[in-house]
Structures are given as structure tokens and as C-alpha cells.
């Protein structure tokens, strides 16, 4: 028996067909909207791609290294090279003398490799505060102080009597040397011209292989000359602390280079002169923004994976030489020197060739790095298959040459794709990913396998996957490099245009300015190239359909989420990477929709908690409280009432009162009338109009077109993360197509 389908009980087939047709039409609209959003996201992912002649360092004339060093002064490059060299002496001594230390302190392979890695862990954790300090204080003085601390702990290493004290001294040397990771490369990038940048970084990078070549001879030679005492390894650390003390003085005498000078000169033709003090960059905000730079993301993840091999190989290799070949400290020392000898030739060549590739196509220089990382893993793996020590050493030497050559491209790549304000943070993350993500766990993993199966097997397990995955990630990231450089250039050009406008007309600087803002939640992009301004004393309404990105835009402006791209300014100051708390001090206060109160506290307690941001002046706090009570007389009679027990309108008044208490310059209000009765909304509008009459600048995200346009001077209509209309509020009333979209979405009542 056939049963006639029906969408509604008692309905007809025609009714059902109408319902199905409506559902199909709605589904088609949803799919069309989603496809348009995806098209916009794909277009955004392709990003900005400027012509080569606008990219700094691309297509420029050749400059010799001597000319580059003369332009920036050779002193910084030489001091940084020597710092790397001396710190490498200490690191090499721990590796070469590891078996002697192991016997003296009576520790296992796992403990020894763990101690060798522990200093690296402290080092990378310490780079983060040093990166924060480097943006606020003299980098040369910070580097000098940290180097002095390193020298003290290096000397104390020679006096340890157990594994615990060895861990303490390794932590101290790691902390002292951590300053060099974010500070040295950022100063090199600021001091020397872009045309020689890869060669300057290669010059600095020579310190590592030079330390590996010279250090083992010195460390092994000191032990050999001292005699046969098991504790003679201690003398090496006393000796290595002496040149470090001399470098402390040399570093303190260096001049601080101007930040971002060469990029500004290449793109803008000169250095920006700013009359507005820029607020400090928030460390966590900078890291969030750095993750959005795709070249950098692939670089740090690839380097992190490679770190499993980089830290494990030296220690395990020295244990292999002792356990399987019975080589003493001196012999292990000169073998270590041989394995890094080829790098002394490869690094200058890679720097020179990298500069040439960068001038031709920046992606090629970065791709070269990934290929060299792959070669490093292949050569180590093949070399371990040979029992013949000379053959194995030759392969390890070739692998170290590839590794050293690859790392010459890290500095130029970061300097090119990261805005100069965030370089110190970017360089600090390289150390974090190498040592913390890969190095520490790689050392422990290799040590565990070494204790169970021997060093050769341990390295065979750890090295190949680390090098292959790391190298492929870096090669894949090269395709984003031109786009990321273009974004840096675009930001500089926009910055220059704004500086010129402020200089030409300082009396009409917008209070709030948003430029080229992109924002996303994970992989879902929500805002696309959003730009607008709000004049002092103006009220701006943000309107749009559900999911248009209005509240997301307010979150990005107030600092509650980090945009992928773009600039936010308040009174001419760039605040894109600034803490929300600091924005409040500058005068930006946000009233979040439905989230502005402590419901379990009373009205008076809510205001009191908020008033701490006014400072320690009781008189000012009382004055601001009285002004709040005048603007919101209903609250004076409810000071002892729990905030959560009030009506929705009263809660919204309290939320506004808390914001007004802080004497804001600009008020960001999200969903003023959400869920409130018309009478209550009318009362709130009276309050907002009163604030407007006092000259307070406001940006209001509002459901209701009528409510928003009742108080707004100007309106912005958003759709699918883009601005579709911007102009006087009354003109929006004439745009039936936009208003129809709002009302059909259920927001326009």
C-alpha cells in the first residue's frame, strides 16, 4: 500500500513540494555562500605578491663582503663571531670530554647525554625573556651582561663534584649564552646591508665549525698535557672562561644599530622618523603573529624536527668512538676537529651562493637550505654503515659541512620575511624549536637507545627521519617566501604613508585606524583585508549579517585575538602587538556582549574591582565613581545587589558603567541591545547619546539597524568578512539590498 508523503500532518503534496523547494533554495544559498567564502580565503592565501623590484635585496647589484663590512663596521661581526667561537669551546669540551666526565662523576650514558642536552633546554627557555628585553633595552648591554654570566658558570663547571652540580652549571651557561640567539642575529640584520646579509651570517656561523675544529684540540690537549689524573678535564673549563671575560668588555663597547634601517632604506628610500612613542610589543602576541608567517612556520617546525638529530649526534658519536674504537680524549678531540674542517670551507661558499640565489629568487636560497638538510641526514646514515673509522669520519665531515651550509640561510630568511619589530622573537623561536622540541627529547631518545642497543643503532634510528622530515618541511615552506616578503614590504609602505599623513596634518589623526586586517580561527579565515578609520568624537556602527565578522573585528581591535595580517593604531600609535591591558591604559575599553560582569559580586564590588586600573589615587577613584553614578543613577541604589540577580538591562548598564569608569578615549560596545526589551533599549540609547554628547568616541556592534543608526554618525556594513558599505549612517538607509540582507537574517528588528 502506497503512503502519500506529507511534510505537515494533513498537508497536501503541493505543500510538501513548496517546502522541499524552499529547503532546496535555502541549501543552494548556503552552499553558494560557503563557496564564496572559500574563494575569498583561497584568494587571501595567495596573498600579496609584489614585483621583484619592490622586494628588498631581490635583483639588486652585487656587493662584496668587504664593502658590506665597511658599510656597517666590522666590529660587531667580529665580536659576534668570537662569542660563537668561545661558547662552542665550552660545548665541545662537554662532548669530547664526556667519557672522562662520565667516569669521574660515575653516571650512565643516558645521564651524560641528558646533562649535555639540559644546558640547551635552559638556553632556549631563556631566549624568550631575552627576546622580550631586546625590544626594550640596549641589545649590546644585554649581550655583554649575559656573556659575563656565562663565563662565571663555565668556570664553575670545572669545580663540580656530582651530577646535580653539573646540571646547575650547565643551566647557568645555557642561560648566559641564550642572549646571543635572539640578540646577535637581530643586530647583524640591522647593521649590515641586505646585499651581503647571507655572507655576514655565514661569517658569524664560522664560529661554530671553527670552535669544533679548534676546541677539541684545545680541550683534548689540555687533558693530555695535564697528565693522567681522571679529573684533568676540569682544567679545560677554567681556561675557556678567560677569553669570555675579555669579550664581555668588547661587547659592552659596541654601538647599538638602528632597527630595521636597511629594509626602510630599500623600500622607502630612507629611515622613518617617528614622533609618537611606540608601545612595547607583547611577547605572546608576537609569537601568535609569527605563526601566521608561513615561511617561518615551516622553517621552525622543520628545524625542530631536525633538532632530534642535531643534539644527539655529537654526544653519541663521541661515545661510539670510545666504546667501539677505544679512542682516548685527545684522539676523539682531533677526530672531532676533522669532522668540522669541511664546514669551514662550505659555510663561506654557502653564504656567497645564498646571496646570489636570493638576488635571483629568494625561494631558491631557502630551498637550498632544505636540500642541504636532507643531504646531512643521508650522509650521516651512510657513514654509520661503515666499520672503518676513516670512512665513517669522512661521511660525518661531509654531513657537518652540509649542516653548517644550510644554517647560513636561517638569518637571511628570517630577516626577509619577519617585520623588524619581531626579529628578536623570531630568532628566539629557532632555539626553542631546535633544542626544546627536538634536541632535549632527541638526546634522551638517543641515550636510551644507546644504552640498550649501542650508539650506532641509536643514531641510525634517530637521524634519518629527523633529517628527511625536517628537510622536506623546509623545502615546502620555500613556496611562501615571496608572498611573506611582500607582506613585510606592504606593511612598511603603509607605515610610511601614515607617518607622512600624520606629519602633514597632525590635528586630524584618526583616533582608531585599522588597515588591511585579516583574521582567522585556526584554518577558517573570518576577516579579509578590512580597513576603516574612526575620527575623534565619532560614533561608528558595525552592521552585518550573522557570521559577517563584526564581533571578530572588535576582538582583533581590542587585542583579544591576534590578526593574521594588518595594522591597528590608536591615536597614531601602532598597537597591533600590544597587550589588551596596555590598550586599556591608552584609553581603549571594550564592553563585550553578555560577558562584562562578575555575576557573583555585587554592583559595588564590580565597580571596585574595575577601579584598580585607575591607579592608587583615592581621590581620582572617588571622582570617577561619582561621575558614573551621575550617568547611571539606577546603580547608586543597587550597590549591594548581586550583579547576576539584576535584569538584562540593568546588567548592560553596569557593563557600560564599568567601561565609563576607566575614562576611555574610545569605547567598543559589542551587542548593546541583545535580548533586551524595547523600553530598556530606549533607556540605554539615552545613556549612549549622553556619552556621545560628552565627545566620547564609540564603535558599536549592534543587531538592530534602527538602534545602531539612531546614535551612529557613520556606518559600516560587513558581509562574509569584508566591508560592503562605509559611509554616513543615513546613506545606509537608502541601500535596500544591504538592509534586506540584515532583516532576512533576523537581525534587523
Which CATH number characterizes residue 603's domain? 3.40.50.300
Q: What is the pLDDT of residue 1?
A: 41
106 and 160 in a single domain? The answer is yes
Quote the CA–CA distance of 130 and 141 in Å, as a whole number. 12
Quote the CA–CA distance of 348 and 191 in Å, as a whole number. 19
Given 486, 516, 535, the domain boundary residue is 486
Q: pTM value? A: 0.79
Quote the CA–CA distance of 79 and 254 in Å, as a whole number. 9
Q: Is residue 17 one of the residues assigned to a domain? A: no
213 and 353 in a single domain? The answer is yes
Q: Is residue 551 one of the residues assigned to a domain? A: yes
Q: Is residue 57 one of the residues assigned to a domain? A: no
Quote the CA–CA distance of 33 and 14 in Å, as a whole number. 28
475 and 562 in a single domain? The answer is no
Quote the CA–CA distance of 339 and 313 in Å, as a whole number. 12
| Binned average pLDDT, 10 residues per bin, the chain of 749 residues | 45 55 56 56 57 78 88 93 88 76 76 68 78 87 92 86 82 86 92 92 90 78 74 82 89 90 82 67 80 91 86 79 80 80 92 92 94 94 90 93 93 91 87 70 72 81 90 94 90 84 82 92 88 92 83 90 89 86 87 75 83 78 83 82 81 83 88 72 81 89 76 86 84 68 48
Q: Is residue 211 one of the residues assigned to a domain? A: yes
Given 451, 486, 521, the domain boundary residue is 486
Tally of structural domains, the chain: 2
Q: What is the pLDDT of residue 398?
A: 95
Q: Is residue 58 one of the residues assigned to a domain? A: no
Q: Do the Cβ atoms of 587 and 666 come closer than 8 Å?
A: yes
Q: What is the pLDDT of residue 436?
A: 66
Quote the CA–CA distance of 187 and 14 in Å, as a whole number. 76
181 and 315 in a single domain? The answer is yes
482 and 519 in a single domain? The answer is no
558 and 589 in a single domain? The answer is yes
Cβ burial, residue 46 (10 Å; 0-12/13-18/19+)? exposed
Q: Is residue 10 one of the residues assigned to a domain? A: no
431 and 512 in a single domain? The answer is no
Cα dihedral sign, 314-316-322-325:
negative
309 and 182 in a single domain? The answer is yes
Q: Is residue 28 one of the residues assigned to a domain? A: no
517 and 481 in a single domain? The answer is no
598 and 474 in a single domain? The answer is no
Q: Is residue 41 one of the residues assigned to a domain? A: no
CATH of the domain at 128: 1.20.1250.20
Q: Could you list the residue range(s) of the whole structural domain that residue 172 is in? A: 65-486
435 and 562 in a single domain? The answer is no
Q: Could you tell me where the DSSP H helices lie in 206-311?
A: 207-226, 234-252, 261-268, 283-291, 294-310
Q: What is the pLDDT of residue 560?
A: 87
Q: What is the pLDDT of residue 443?
A: 67
642 and 682 in a single domain? The answer is yes
- Angle, to 10 degrees, between the axis of helix 163-178 and the axis of helix 74-96? 160
Amino acid at each position: 500500500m502506497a503512503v502519500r508523503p506529507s511534510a505537515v500532518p494533513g498537508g497536501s503534496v503541493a505543500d510538501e513540494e513548496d517546502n522541499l523547494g524552499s529547503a532546496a533554495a535555502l541549501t543552494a544559498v548556503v552552499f553558494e555562500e560557503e563557496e564564496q567564502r572559500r574563494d575569498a580565503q583561497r584568494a587571501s592565501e595567495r596573498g600579496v605578491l609584489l614585483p621583484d623590484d619592490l622586494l628588498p635585496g631581490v635583483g639588486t647589484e652585487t656587493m662584496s663582503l668587504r664593502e658590506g663590512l665597511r658599510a656597517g663596521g666590522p666590529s660587531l661581526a667580529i665580536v659576534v663571531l668570537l662569542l660563537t667561537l668561545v661558547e662552542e669551546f665550552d660545548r665541545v669540551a662537554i662532548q669530547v670530554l664526556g667519557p672522562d666526565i662520565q667516569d669521574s662523576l660515575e653516571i650512565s650514558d643516558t645521564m651524560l647525554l641528558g646533562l649535555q642536552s639540559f644546558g640547551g633546554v635552559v638556553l632556549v627557555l631563556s631566549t624568550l625573556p631575552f627576546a622580550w628585553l631586546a625590544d626594550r633595552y640596549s641589545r649590546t648591554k644585554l649581550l655583554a651582561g649575559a656573556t659575563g654570566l656565562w663565563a662565571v658558570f663555565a668556570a664553575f663547571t670545572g669545580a663540580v663534584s656530582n651530577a646535580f652540580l653539573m646540571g646547575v652549571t650547565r643551566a647557568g651557561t645555557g642561560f648566559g649564552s641564550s642572549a646571543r640567539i635572539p640578540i646577535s642575529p637581530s643586530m647583524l640584520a640591522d647593521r649590515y646591508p641586505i646585499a651581503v646579509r647571507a655572507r655576514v651570517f655565514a661569517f658569524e656561523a664560522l664560529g661554530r665549525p671553527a670552535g669544533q675544529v679548534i676546541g677539541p684540540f684545545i680541550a683534548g690537549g689540555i687533558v693530555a698535557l695535564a697528565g693522567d689524573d681522571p679529573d684533568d678535564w676540569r682544567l679545560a673549563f677554567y681556561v675557556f672562561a678567560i677569553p669570555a671575560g675579555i669579550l664581555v668588555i668588547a661587547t659592552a663597547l659596541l654601538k647599538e644599530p638602528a632597527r630595521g634601517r636597511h629594509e626602510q632604506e630599500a623600500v622607502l628610500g630612507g629611515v622613518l622618523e617617528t614622533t609618537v612613542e611606540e608601545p612595547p610589543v607583547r611577547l605572546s602576541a608576537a609569537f601568535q603573529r609569527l605563526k601566521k608567517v608561513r615561511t617561518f612556520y615551516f622553517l621552525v617546525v622543520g628545524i625542530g624536527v631536525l633538532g632530534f638529530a642535531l643534539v644527539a649526534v655529537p654526544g653519541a658519536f663521541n661515545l661510539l668512538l670510545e666504546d667501539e674504537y677505544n679512542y682516548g680524549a685527545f684522539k676523539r678531540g682531533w677526530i672531532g676537529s676533522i669532522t668540522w674542517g669541511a664546514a669551514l670551507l662550505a659555510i663561506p661558499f654557502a653564504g656567497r651562493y645564498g646571496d646570489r640565489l636570493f638576488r635571483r629568487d629568494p625561494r631558491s636560497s631557502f630551498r637550498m637550505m632544505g636540500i642541504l638538510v636532507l643531504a646531512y641526514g643521508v650522509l650521516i646514515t651512510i657513514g654509520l654503515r661503515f666499520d672503518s673509522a676513516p670512512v665513517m669520519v669522512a661521511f660525518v665531515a661531509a654531513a657537518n659541512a652540509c649542516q653548517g651550509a644550510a644554517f647560513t640561510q636561517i638569518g637571511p630568511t628570517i630577516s626577509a620575511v619577519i617585520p623588524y619589530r619581531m626579529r628578536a622573537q623570531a630568532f628566539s623561536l629557532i632555539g626553542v624549536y631546535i633544542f626544546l622540541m627536538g634536541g632535549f627529547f632527541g638526546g634522551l631518545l638517543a641515550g636510551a637507545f644507546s644504552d640498550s642497543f649501542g650508539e650506532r643503532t641509536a643514531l641510525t634510528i634517530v637521524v634519518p627521519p629527523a633529517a628527511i622530515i625536517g628537510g622536506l618541511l623546509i623545502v615546502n615552506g620555500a613556496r611562501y617566501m615571496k608572498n611573506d616578503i611582500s607582506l613585510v614590504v606592504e606593511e612598511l609602505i603603509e607605515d610610511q604613508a601614515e607617518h607622512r599623513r600624520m606629519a602633514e596634518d597632525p590635528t586630524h589623526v584618526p583616533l582608531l585606524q585599522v588597515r588591511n586586517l585579516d583574521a582567522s580561527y585556526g584554518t577558517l579565515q573570518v576577516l579579509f583585508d578590512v580597513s576603516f578609520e574612526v575620527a575623534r568624537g565619532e560614533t561608528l556602527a558595525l552592521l552585518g549579517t550573522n557570521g559577517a565578522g563584526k564581533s571578530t573585528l572588535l576582538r582583533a581591535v581590542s587585542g583579544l585575538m591576534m590578526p593574521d595580517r594588518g595594522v591597528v593604531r590608536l591615536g597614531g600609535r601602532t598597537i597591533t602587538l600590544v597587550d589588551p591591558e596596555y590598550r586599556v591604559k591608552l584609553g581603549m575599553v571594550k564592553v563585550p556582549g553578555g560577558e562584562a560582569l562578575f555575576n557573583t559580586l555585587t554592583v559595588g564590588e564590580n565597580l571596585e574591582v574595575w577601579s584598580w586600573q585607575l591607579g592608587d589615587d583615592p581621590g581620582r577613584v572617588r571622582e570617577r565613581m561619582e561621575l558614573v553614578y551621575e550617568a547611571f543613577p539606577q546603580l547608586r541604589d543597587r550597590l549591594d545587589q548581586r550583579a547576576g540577580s539584576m535584569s538584562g538591562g540593568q546588567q548592560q548598564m553596569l557593563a557600560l558603567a564599568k567601561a565609563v569608569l576607566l575614562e576611555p578615549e574610545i569605547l567598543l560596545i559589542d551587542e548593546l541591545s541583545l535580548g533586551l526589551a524595547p523600553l530598556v533599549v530606549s533607556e540605554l540609547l539615552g545613556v549612549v547619546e549622553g556619552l556621545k554628547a560628552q565627545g566620547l568616541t564609540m564603535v558599536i556592534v549592534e543587531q538592530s539597524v534602527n538602534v545602531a543608526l539612531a546614535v551612529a554618525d557613520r556606518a559600516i556594513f560587513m558581509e562574509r568578512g569584508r566591508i560592503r558599505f562605509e559611509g554616513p549612517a543615513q546613506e545606509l538607509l537608502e541601500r535596500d539590498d544591504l538592509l534586506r540582507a540584515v532583516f532576512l537574517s533576523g537581525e534587523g528588528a
